[in-house]
């Protein structure tokens, strides 16, 4: 549970949110040393594999979304390129 909180705080910080990390940690009753240990920790092999799989899934979804945008179901075919 603590790792998820640390992860959310780091996500907010990196996304450009104007937050006080120390203030958030204090309000949640979490230690600064634990947070900075979490931030500096290298991902495990399992986390790397999950990240790679997630990247492939997102890439596939993006390609499927682009294909769907190109395909025009009203006409039953893909648009022709006029050169």
Is there a contact between 13 and 21 (Cβ–Cβ < 8 Å)? yes
Do 59 and 71 share a domain, yes or no? Answer: yes
Q: Is the pLDDT of residue 1 over 80?
A: no
Total number of domains in the chain: 2
pTM: 0.43
Do 48 and 83 share a domain, yes or no? Answer: yes
Residue numbers of the domain that contains 78: 43-83
Do 5 and 36 share a domain, yes or no? Answer: yes
Give tens-digit pLDDT for 23-51. Answer: 888 888 888 888 888 888 888 899 889 98
Is there a contact between 40 and 10 (Cβ–Cβ < 8 Å)? no
Do 2 and 37 share a domain, yes or no? Answer: yes
Q: Bridge-partner residues for 77, per DSSP?
A: 72
Task: Kindly list the distances between the CA atom of residue 42 and the CA atoms of 11, 13, 45, 47, 77, in Å, as whole numbers in the listed order.
Answer: 16, 18, 9, 10, 48
pLDDT at 49: 92
Do 36 and 62 share a domain, yes or no? Answer: no
């Amino acid at each position: 549970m603590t790792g998820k909180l640390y992860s959310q705080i780091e996500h907010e910080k990196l996304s450009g949110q104007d937050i006080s990390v120390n203030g958030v940690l204090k309000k949640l009753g979490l230690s600064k040393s634990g947070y900075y240990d979490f931030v500096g920790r290298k991902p495990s092999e399992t986390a790397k594999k999950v990240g790679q799989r997630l990247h492939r899934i997102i890439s596939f979804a993006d390609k499927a979304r682009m294909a769907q945008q190109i395909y025009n179901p009203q006409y039953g075919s893909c648009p022709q390129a006029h050169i």
